[in-house]
Amino acid sequence: MRSTAPPAPPDTFEVRDLTVVYGRSVRALHGVSLEVPAKGIVALLGANGAGKSTLLRAVSGTLPMHGGAVESGSITFGGEQLTGRSPADVVAAGVVQVPEGRRVFSGLSVEDNLRTGRLGLRGQSRASARETAEQVYALFPVLAERRRQAAGLLSGGEQQMLAMGRALMARPRLLLLDEPSLGLAPQVTERIAGIVRRIHEEGTAVLVVEQNASLALELADRACVLDVGRVRLAGPAEELSRSDEVRRLYLGEHPDGDVQPPETATRALARWAA
């Protein structure tokens, strides 16, 4: 039977009722749904162990490397099914992840690190590779200055920029950012945030996973809070940043120094889950 659901708008990224297991017993995600509109920027928040990395692994096709599998649900980008696809296929579909912890090839030069971002991409000419590299250097002038230096000699912030630049070499239409501020000084974090804004303004959709909730909520249009593998809150980032629950749990604020009454949290949940 043909589906009667209307086709998704081009480049909408959709996760629907996703359940992920590790081995036989660890269910890390339970029926998670979220959406990144075309050219949107969405933050995924949650405490340690909430399932943020698991969601990114499911999207990028790297779950099997961690002993995980999608049990049910779907992941689509512009209507194209990504569930169960290989990492190379996901990149070819326009969805590229910047891994947590930067993970650059420290013995390779900046230039060669950028080249690895295009490995395996089909139908791309040398001229277009050069043009993309120049766009990346324009976005990160510090990488242009150090293009022949070994990546291992860069500072933490510069390595984060290189990891982002390498992902941009594949010309993603959706960029997945895993903890871009991890281990960086506040000033460097601000620079990275500014670059994420520019990438987004130039038309790339972004899904950003962050422990630094204030940064993520400042950057994003919408946000989604995961709690022990389930979506606890979702809605416009500005509304979430005003939510008592988010302020207390993720922004480190303690309104009146008191614990929030449970009925307030329930009402907040109902409002943002709508």
Ligand X SMILES: Nc1ncnc2c1ncn2[C@@H]1O[C@H](COP(=O)(O)OP(=O)(O)OP(=O)(O)O)[C@@H](O)[C@H]1O
CB of 183 to ligand X, least distance (A): 13
Binding residues for ligand X, rule CB under 6 A, total 13
CB of 57 to ligand X, least distance (A): 7
Residues within window 37-56 making contact with ligand X, judged by CB under 6 A:
46, 48-54
Residue 12 in the binding site for ligand X (CB under 6 A): no
Tell me the backbone φ, ψ of residue 88, rounded to 5 degrees: -65, -35
Q: Could you write out the three-class secondary structure of 212-272?
A: CHHHHHHHCCEEEEEECCEEEEEEEHHHHHHCHHHHHHCCCCCHHHCCCCHHHHHHHHHHH
- Edge to edge, what strands does the sheet with 26-36 contain? 26-36, 13-22, 68-77, 80-81
Q: Considering beta carbons, is residue 65 or 119 the nearer one to ligand X?
A: 65
CB of 210 to ligand X, least distance (A): 10
Q: For residues 91 and 101, what is the distance between their CA atoms, to the nearest angstrom?
A: 20
Q: Considering beta carbons, is residue 80 or 100 the nearer one to ligand X?
A: 100
Per-residue binding letters, 161-200, with ligand X (x by CB under 6 A): ----------------------------------------
Q: Considering beta carbons, is residue 169 or 223 the nearer one to ligand X?
A: 223
CB of 46 to ligand X, least distance (A): 5
Residue 60 in the binding site for ligand X (CB under 6 A): no
Exactly one of 10, 64, 67, 261 binds ligand X (CB under 6 A); that residue is 67
Q: For residues 17 and 23, what is the distance between their CA atoms, to the nearest angstrom?
A: 19
Q: Considering beta carbons, is residue 67 or 183 the nearer one to ligand X?
A: 67
- CB contact at 8 A, 220 and 43: yes
Angle at 196 between CA 130 and CA 56, to 5 degrees: 95
Q: For residues 219 and 204, what is the distance between their CA atoms, to the nearest angstrom?
A: 14
Q: Considering beta carbons, is residue 44 or 95 the nearer one to ligand X?
A: 44
Residue 26 in the binding site for ligand X (CB under 6 A): yes
Residues found in the chain: 274
Positions touching ligand X (CB under 6 A) are 22, 26, 28, 46, 48-54, 66-67
